[in-house]
């Protein structure tokens, strides 16, 4: 029974945000409250603001395969890019578009 509870507790997932439903009503202030200050932002001449938040940090790792004394060894590298959430807010401070950016 204890094992079952431990297994079940590991299945909790975080709720996915439906950004499409937030367009037109979600504000920049709400974004900062929810996500913290943006990592990058720019204000355009027409009053819109484009902001990016890092939502998943990438990585790069390398491993040498083979055994000491063997002639054959090789290096294998794996990596994953950073993932950003780009939110664009109109001059009224409300969300007008969003997308995920992979860098």
Q: Contact 96/62 with Cβ under 8 angstroms?
A: no
Paired strand residues for 80 = 59
pLDDT, tens digit (0-9, with 9 covering 90-100), for 9-43? 444 456 789 999 999 999 999 999 999 999 999 99
- Render pLDDT for 46-56 as a digit per residue (tens, 0 to 9): 999 999 999 99
Cα–Cα distance measured from residue 43 to residue 31, given in angstroms and rounded to the nearest whole number: 16
Three-class secondary structure of residue 99 per DSSP: strand
User: Would you list the domain boundaries of the chain?
Assistant: 18-102
* Predicted TM-score of the model (pTM): 0.73
């Amino acid at each position: 029974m204890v094992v079952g509870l431990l297994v079940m507790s590991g299945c909790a997932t975080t709720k996915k945000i439906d950004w499409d439903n937030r367009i037109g009503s979600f504000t920049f202030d709400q974004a900062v409250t929810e996500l913290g200050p943006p990592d990058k932002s720019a204000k355009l001449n027409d009053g819109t603001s484009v902001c990016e938040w890092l939502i998943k940090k990438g990585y790069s790792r390398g491993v040498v395969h083979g055994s000491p004394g063997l002639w054959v060894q090789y290096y294998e590298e794996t990596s994953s890019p950073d993932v950003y959430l780009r939110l664009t807010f109109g001059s009224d401070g409300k969300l007008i578009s969003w997308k995920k950016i992979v860098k």
